Structure 1
Amino acid sequence: MTRYRMIFLAALLSAAAPTLATAQSGSPTLGLQNWPLPDTLSAEGKAAAAAAAAQAMPDPLPPIADIRSFIGAMQANMGAALQKRYAVRVEETSIAGVPVRIVYPKGVTELGKGPVLLNLHGGGFAIDSGSLTETIPVAARSGIPVVAVLYRLSPENPYPAALDDALAVYRALEKDRTASRIAVFGTSAGACLSAQLVAKLASMGRPMPAALGFLSGSADLAVRGDSESWMPGPGFDWVTAYAGKTAMTDPTLSPIRGDVSRFPPTLLLTSTRDFLLSPTAIFSRALTEKGVDARLVVFDGLPHAFWAYMAAPESDQANELVARFLKEKLTGK
């Protein structure tokens, strides 16, 4: 399997939206693989996007255990390169009995009682496709440590197992600092889970975190948006496996179906060739309609969750936007 097929698989496996529950084999993709990439992209971005788009998903998909092993090795390899580039330290430990990875930026040696970023990684709720690649650049660029929750995965552990793990770590962090010194972010499945965590806190009457980074996800697992109908996505049933016996319309599982008026300032990222473009934009609109400070940033011509796996200037720009937004909301700077 080539490197770009590997990263394309990783990108698709990081998705978490209703499109996962609907096989795409009989649906037209309108020639995405053949559409010319825009000149608005950097040379590096264009090359990486073209190479990734040219690769087909493995058919049949490997067993889930093999996918986890493969993506885990890729996280380790890419994470090692990022650690060297950004001079961060990664500690594997546990908080509230939940395994976590803590990324300490240069000059920071402990969590203490200061600001912290809580990350919920992508991976279709079924693999870890981002606990290093999503976190290291943000920790280094913000100067704030990141706690990446290695939550229980589906299908073995359906909802609300992952949410329970996220909540346990959040509540433990809250013992040493106020909620205003915690920000939450995640990509793809992690974006969905991040919004679910905020919705759960709101339903409990808990103080809101300082900010939310909702990076290419869906806040409504019950329906598909337009972009999901014509851009190719994974054709396997991981969202249904994640939801388990919970209705997709549950207002915590699908926060847009509940009251989002208490959500904290939220940065939403997506891109024009991201099949979760529609649900990300729809959630931004729903937040804005309720008076929430919601900022939607759409990159041009790049695929789903590109910032978590693609080496290009646009990835640096996306990670800088996330780091700056979360830091501003945490520290007022």
Structure 2
Amino acid sequence: MILRTALAAAALFAATPAMAQLVTAPWPDELSPEARAGLAADDARPSEPASIEDRRVRAEAIQQAVGQPRLRRYGVRMADAEIAGVPVRIFTPGDALADGPVLLNLHGGGFLVDSGSITENAAVAALTGYRVVAVRYRLAPEHIFPAAADDALAVYRALLAEHSPGRIGLYGTSAGAILAAELVARLRAENLPQPGALGFFSGTADLTRAGDSVVLFLDPASVASLVALYTGTRDPADVLISPGRGRLAGWPPTLCLSSGRDFLLGATADFCRALDAAGVPSNLIVFDGLPHAFWSYIDAPETDAAFAAMARFFRGRLEETQ
């Protein structure tokens, strides 16, 4: 029963299409025609499969269907590889510099599926000119915390062998944003060098509370079941799981990005505000009238603008050290 409930939440938490939300107001007229068409197509998609295996197959199919055209559009090469024993996808733009900065991506997918390892990265690689390494970390429920964070740390350590920490950018969407913050907390706990910049895109840094946006858009009990599926017996108040509950002074410069109908808008804003209060260079960008992690699966001018904001942030921060 817990797994079925968590899977229902994961369909929403995973930054994939077919994300039915509790708030059913019409989409705003101010959205671009492309965004409105993409949302209408999303609304018309069939419901998620029942089994986690089928959901993973479906998620990969969506990654290919949405991601391959993006790779072609942006002229980015993708290669499946392995770093430090962890499977990764490496994205190389046509104008990438051999000695340039590198970006580490942790994909979305509610911790249960991969719903971002292609679609989140093609545009970012092209617009920054940096190589992007997407970690295909171990998934729950087979592998609970800290398995995904361990995989992210292993790949980050390997990148440190080739790049100074100030030339490494880290980012993730949805569950990937959570994991990215957890990786920073892990680095700080182990006295390892932090990345030069963090992209925290539609996430939460406190898994002990749902937040008002979640209450508006989702069933909080389903989200709690999903969190339990990821954390296992670990206390979600542990700052390695909920970094927002820990000391934030000295945290890497952070871009927070969300949208007006995102069930993690409140949590994203709360974390950005906490970083600001701790003296961390941080900025929050909110796209009005759009759902959770829209850039991961809708092609529209708003998506182009989101990726452009991400690229400006990373180039501004990581090229300061050149």
TM surpasses 0.5: yes
SS in 2 for 1:240: helix
Whole-Å Cα distance in 2 between the matches of residues 14 and 204 of structure 1? Answer: 29
Per the TM alignment, residue 55 of structure 1 is displaced from its structure 2 partner at its CA by 6.0
Equivalences for 1:229-244 in 2 at 5 Å? 229-232=215-218, 235=222, 237-244=225-232
Per the TM alignment, residue 194 of structure 1 is displaced from its structure 2 partner at its CA by 0.3
Identify which of 95, 104, 108 aligns with 1:118: 104
The residue aligned with 1:20 is: none
Closer, same or farther in 2 for the Cα pair 1:134/1:39, shift >3 Å?
A: same
Runs (4+) of structure 1 moved beyond 6 Å?
A: none
Whole-Å Cα distance in 1 between the matches of residues 71 and 45 of structure 2? Answer: 28
Question: What amino acid does structure 1 have at the position aligned with 2:298?
Answer: M
Equivalences for 1:48-67 in 2 at 5 Å? 48-53=38-43, 57-58=47-48, 61-67=49-55
Closer, same or farther in 2 for the Cα pair 1:213/1:233, shift >3 Å?
A: farther
The residue aligned with 1:47 is: 37
Higher RCO (CA-CA < 8 Å; seq separation 6+): 1
The residue aligned with 1:194 is: 180
Per the TM alignment, residue 69 of structure 1 is displaced from its structure 2 partner at its CA by 0.6
For the 8 Å contact 2:108–2:173, the answer to whether it is kept is: yes
* C-alpha RMSD of the superposition: 2.2
For the 8 Å contact 1:220–1:255, the answer to whether it is kept is: yes
Per the TM alignment, residue 113 of structure 1 is displaced from its structure 2 partner at its CA by 4.5
Closer, same or farther in 2 for the Cα pair 1:79/1:53, shift >3 Å?
A: closer
| Residue 214 of structure 2 corresponds to residue 214 of structure 1 | no
Whole-Å Cα distance in 1 between the matches of residues 314 and 11 of structure 2? Answer: 24
Identity of aligned residues (%): 50
SS in 1 for 2:274: helix
Closer, same or farther in 2 for the Cα pair 1:166/1:240, shift >3 Å?
A: same
For the 8 Å contact 1:37–1:50, the answer to whether it is kept is: no
Equivalences for 1:285-296 in 2 at 5 Å? 285-296=273-284
Question: What amino acid does structure 2 have at the position aligned with 1:204?
Answer: E
Whole-Å Cα distance in 2 between the matches of residues 295 and 11 of structure 1? Answer: 28
For the 8 Å contact 1:273–1:300, the answer to whether it is kept is: yes
Q: Structure 1: 5+ residue runs without aligned partners?
A: 1-8, 17-23
The residue aligned with 2:254 is: 266
The residue aligned with 1:83 is: 71
For the 8 Å contact 2:59–2:115, the answer to whether it is kept is: yes
Per the TM alignment, residue 312 of structure 1 is displaced from its structure 2 partner at its CA by 0.8
SS in 2 for 1:300: strand
SS in 2 for 1:264: coil
SS in 1 for 2:79: strand
Give CA deviations for 1:284-306 in whole Å, capped at 9, x if unaligned: 11101000111000001001000
Whole-Å Cα distance in 2 between the matches of residues 102 and 282 of structure 1? Answer: 32
Whole-Å Cα distance in 2 between the matches of residues 150 and 295 of structure 1? Answer: 28
The residue aligned with 2:211 is: 225
Give CA deviations for 1:219-239 in whole Å, capped at 9, x if unaligned: 000101101101136936332
Identify which of 78, 83, 87 aligns with 1:99: 87
Question: What amino acid does structure 2 have at the position aligned with 1:305?
Answer: A
Whole-Å Cα distance in 1 between the matches of residues 42 and 64 of structure 2? Answer: 20
For the 8 Å contact 2:59–2:114, the answer to whether it is kept is: yes
The residue aligned with 2:141 is: 155
Identify which of 3, 20, 27 aligns with 1:37: 27
Whole-Å Cα distance in 1 between the matches of residues 34 and 248 of structure 2? Answer: 38
